[in-house]
């Protein structure tokens, strides 16, 4: 950790496309509909060991770093001043959770734009590099072939029907290899253009566009968007409407969604003096799929015994939700470890940012890939309940791979 950071935030003119301002592929980003944060360079970074306490360890590291910083903030909005981007592992048994404080952050929100610069060492920032395309991309199965994954789904359904648990989320992965190094800026730009209602993110080699807002904290106000239950988009408006209408009354999908909403209410309820969830799910339509969606909003308690939780602490309290793990969580986590045949790494873990005042936004790392040179590892998962059909779940997973597949191929 640097001895001390010097941080300066100043207002700037509208910078235009934030992603277009990223000077080289080692990019940090959290963008939705053109607003958010884009960062580059590293003033400080920590990789956290496996364990249930990885969030607490990250909070401690950040608090020491931020408390010791010499900060001047002429903007004073959520996301100004020192900011850390983070990405945490899904499974506490996995290594690799990371927090990064960028050297430079460009932000824009609600008609205001700002630039934050951080100095903590004398290493110069590298020169800007042109964005390059990866060329031809070749695909292959990774941990499970499609038939093997269907067998895992069938095994999960049998365990649910036997009463071992009520829901489990099973994921699968794909490998990709390109002719040239994959430039995350190109992937982010394509994802942001095609999925503007998602949160396009990049942190330490994990990049994607997640539709799911785990938590937003702005002062004492909190928001969450719960997604669970999915169908594809239709080829025509009539087909689209029919698919959406069927999703809203699907017993399987409504059951799956209900578990995820209950998890969020249970986690946030003790921390809020006001908490309101929409009484029934609505449809969230994205470019490739439709989800059941429930919006939750709340007000943090004025003086909880342990202090007002930061956005990162709230993300830790919510993770893992039934939307990415299952119900009950402990039984679902055990079954995931048994049936998936892979380490998810940071897929389906919290990803986002937090500032020195504890404000921030954290999503669930979905529709994403780990990028490493010419190679990429993509992920997709599906909620499994007693009424799940393995072939239908495989088709849903293939649909969820599509955003990143298309972003890599162009």
Distances (CA, A) of 88 to 64, 85, 331, 364: 19, 10, 21, 10
End-to-end CA distance of the chain: 39
Residue 76 lies in a domain: yes
Residue 225 lies in a domain: yes
Residue 196 lies in a domain: yes
Closest by alpha carbon to 207, among 220, 215, 216, 198? 198
Total domains in the chain come to: 1
Residue 265 lies in a domain: yes
Q: Cβ(373)–Cβ(384) under 8 Å?
A: no
User: Which pLDDT value is given to residue 72?
Assistant: 95
pLDDT digits (tens, 9 = 90+) for 91-127: 999 999 999 999 999 999 999 999 999 986 556 666 7
Query: Can you give the pTM of this predicted structure?
Result: 0.93
For the chain, what percent of residues have pLDDT higher than 70?
97
Residue 61 lies in a domain: yes
User: Which pLDDT value is given to residue 1?
Assistant: 61
Average pLDDT score over the chain: 93
**Helices within 171-236 (DSSP H only):** 184-194
Catalytic (active-site) positions: 167, 212
pLDDT digits (tens, 9 = 90+) for 355-388: 999 999 999 999 999 999 999 999 999 999 999 9
- Is pLDDT above 70 for 200? yes
Distances (CA, A) of 144 to 141, 348, 359, 394: 7, 18, 39, 12
For the chain, what percent of residues have pLDDT higher than 90?
86
Residue 132 lies in a domain: no
- Is pLDDT above 80 for 304? no
pLDDT tier at 48, thresholds 50, 70, 90: very high
Pairing relationship of beta strands 35-40 and 97-101 according to DSSP bridges: unpaired
User: Which pLDDT value is given to residue 128?
Assistant: 82
Q: Residue 315 maps to which CATH number?
A: 3.60.120.10
| Torsion angle defined by CA atoms of residues 401, 405, 406 and 408, in that order, rounded to the nearest 10 degrees | 150
Residue 131 lies in a domain: no
User: Which pLDDT value is given to residue 2?
Assistant: 64
Residue 128 lies in a domain: no
User: Which pLDDT value is given to residue 123?
Assistant: 60
Tell me which residue range forms the domain holding 403: 6-123+138-409
pLDDT digits (tens, 9 = 90+) for 54-87: 999 999 999 999 999 999 999 999 999 999 999 9
């Amino acid at each position: 950790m640097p001895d001390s950071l010097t941080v300066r935030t100043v207002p700037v003119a509208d910078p235009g496309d934030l992603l277009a301002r990223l000077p080289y592929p080692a990019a940090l980003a959290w963008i939705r509909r053109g607003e958010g944060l884009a960062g580059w360079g590293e003033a400080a970074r920590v990789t956290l060991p496996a364990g249930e306490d990885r969030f607490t360890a990250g909070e401690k590291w950040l608090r020491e770093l931020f408390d010791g910083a010499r900060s001047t903030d002429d903007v004073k909005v959520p996301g100004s001043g020192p900011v850390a981007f983070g990405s945490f592992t899904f499974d506490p048994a996995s290594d690799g959770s990371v927090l990064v404080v960028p050297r430079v952050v460009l932000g824009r929100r609600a008609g205001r734009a700002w630039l934050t610069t951080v100095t903590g060492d004398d290493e110069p920032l590298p020169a800007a590099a042109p964005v390059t395309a990866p060329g031809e991309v070749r695909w292959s199965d990774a941990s499970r072939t499609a038939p093997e994954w269907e067998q895992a789904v069938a095994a999960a359904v049998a365990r649910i029907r036997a009463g071992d648990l009520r829901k489990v989320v099973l994921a699968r992965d794909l490998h990709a290899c390109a002719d040239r190094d994959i430039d995350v800026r190109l992937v982010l730009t394509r994802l942001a253009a095609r999925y503007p209602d998602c949160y396009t993110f990049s942190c330490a080699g994990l990049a994607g566009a997640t539709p799911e807002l785990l938590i937003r904290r702005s002062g004492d106000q909190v928001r969450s968007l719960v997604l669970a239950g999915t169908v594809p988009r239709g080829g025509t408006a009539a087909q689209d409407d029919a698919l959406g209408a069927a999703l809203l009354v699907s017993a399987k999908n409504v059951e799956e969604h209900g578990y995820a909403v209950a998890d969020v209410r249970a986690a946030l309820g003790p921390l809020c003096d006001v908490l309101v969830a929409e009484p029934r799910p609505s449809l969230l339509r994205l470019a490739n799929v439709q989800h059941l969606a429930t919006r939750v909003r709340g007000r943090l308690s004025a003086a909880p015994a342990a202090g007002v939780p930061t956005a990162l602490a709230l993300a830790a309290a919510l993770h893992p939700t039934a939307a990415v793990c299952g119900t009950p969580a402990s039984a679902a986590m055990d079954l995931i470890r048994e049936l998936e045949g892979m380490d998810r790494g940071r897929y389906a873990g919290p990803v986002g940012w937090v500032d020195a005042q504890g404000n921030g936004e954290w999503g669930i790392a979905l529709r994403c890939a780990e990028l490493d040179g010419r190679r990429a590892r993509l992920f997709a998962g599906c909620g499994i309940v007693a009424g799940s059909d393995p072939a239908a779940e495989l088709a849903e997973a293939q649909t969820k791979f599509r955003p990143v597949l298309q972003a890599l191929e162009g």
